[in-house]
Amino acid sequence: MSDRPTPDGADFDAGCFDAGCFDAGRALRLNPNVGLRPEPFGALAYHFHTRRLVFLKSPALVDLVRSLEHHATAASAIAAAPSTHSAASYRRALASLEESEVVCGA
């Protein structure tokens, strides 16, 4: 196996990250150091600097992450995302992805 792929980040139900302090009023984007590879379950994200592998376990979340750069704030990207998941789920996922540096401030 690879060096310990970490099946974390974007784990909607994990609840291990407090999204309460996540500020959706900022502009976010896909970290330029992250490669995103589409998969049937969503996508694999690999951070070329931290060498961390993260599984995005929903195609809708992948679309949201890709759409971030077209929105002035994360909140507006979430508002425009399909209702596949609740806004709260999307916020938690983005908070977790920011924690693992898959997304970052624009």
Partner 1 sequence: MPEATVAPLVDQLSAGLDAPICLTWELTYACNLACVHCLSSSGRRDPAELTTAEAKAVVDELARLQVFYVNVGGGEPLVRRDFFELLEYAVDHHVGVKFSTNGYLLDAAKARRLAELDNVDVQISLDGVDAATNDPIRGEGSYDAAVAAMANLEAAGLAGFKISVVTTRHNVGQLDRYERLAADLGAQLRVTRLRPSGRGADVYHELRPTNDQQRELYRWLLDRPHVLTGDSFFHLSALGEPLPGLNLCGAGRIVCLIDPVGDVYACPFVIHDEFHAGNVREPGGFTAVWRESPRFRELREPGSAGACASCGSYDSCRGGCMATKFFTGLPIDGPDPECVFGNADEALARIDPATIPRATQDHSKPGRVPVRLGVAPRR
- Taking the complex as a whole, the smallest distance from the CB of residue 25 to partner 1 amounts, in Å, to 25
Candidate ranges 20-28, 42-50, 63-71, 72-80; the one touching partner 1 (CB under 8 A) = 42-50
Q: How far, in Å, CA of 38 to CA of 3, rounded?
A: 21
Query: In this chain, which of 37, 70, 79, 87 binds partner 1, going by CB under 8 A?
Result: 37
Interface pattern 72-91 for partner 1 (x via CB under 8 A): ------------xx---x--
Distances (CA, A) of 90 to 45, 51, 71: 17, 24, 15
C-beta closer to partner 1: residue 71 or 81: 81
Q: Where do we find the tokens 């929105």?
A: 71
Backbone angles phi, psi at 31, to 5 degrees: -60, 125
Nearest to 56 by CA among 67, 48, 66, 44: 44
| Residues at the interface with partner 1 (CB under 8 A) | 1-7, 11-13, 35, 37, 39-42, 44, 46, 48-49, 51, 53, 55, 57-59, 84-85, 89
